[in-house]
């Protein structure tokens, strides 16, 4: 998994939604910021939605409130059906939705919830 669409990617340094994708970018991952309120984040063109991402997406990393997860899962499932590319959804620390997770898993997606991708990446490097 080398290309990560970050839903809720922030242009504000210091926020987890900026620092985690910046870390992943430094580790060699290609980051696609999904943020309708920004034109560019981390030197990459931002897009309004997953449907607007050109090319393959391996992982959807979510930095949005839990109450928005169901809609993001639906968008991910639609994208997977259309492009056949997304393998997994990662919900950052504090973000959960059991019903949406079950729906995503039923569609063949791997889901990780309530975990920090940066922390887990660093742990695996130990």
We report the CATH number of the domain holding residue 9 as 3.40.50.720
Other CB atoms within 10 A of residue 76 CB: 26
Higher pLDDT, 24 or 1: 24
First CA to last CA distance, the chain: 19
> Number of folded domains in the chain?
1
Task: Look at residue 1 and tell me whether its pLDDT is greater than 70.
Answer: no
Convert the pLDDT of each residue in 47-60 to its tens digit: 999 999 999 999 99
Convert the pLDDT of each residue in 71-95 to its tens digit: 999 999 999 998 889 999 999 999 9
Q: What percent of the chain has pLDDT over 90?
A: 94
Per the structure, the complete domain to which residue 34 belongs is given by 3-125
Residue whose pair of structure tokens reads 């695996």 in the numeric block: 124
Q: CA-CA distance, 71 to 88, in Å (whole number)?
A: 15
Convert the pLDDT of each residue in 90-109 to its tens digit: 999 999 999 999 999 999 99
């Amino acid at each position: 998994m080398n290309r990560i669409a970050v839903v809720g990617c922030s242009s504000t340094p210091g926020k987890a939604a900026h620092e985690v994708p910046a870390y992943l970018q430094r580790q060699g991952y290609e980051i696609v910021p999904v943020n309708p309120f920004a034109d560019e984040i981390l030197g990459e063109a931002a897009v309004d939605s997953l449907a607007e991402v050109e090319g393959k997406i391996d992982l959807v990393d979510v930095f949005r409130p839990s109450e928005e997860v169901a809609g993001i899962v639906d968008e991910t499932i639609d994208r997977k059906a259309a492009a056949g590319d997304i393998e997994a959804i990662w919900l950052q620390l504090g973000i959960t939705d059991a019903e949406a997770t079950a729906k995503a898993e039923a569609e063949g997606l791997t889901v990780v919830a309530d975990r920090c991708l940066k922390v887990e990446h660093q742990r695996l490097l130990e």
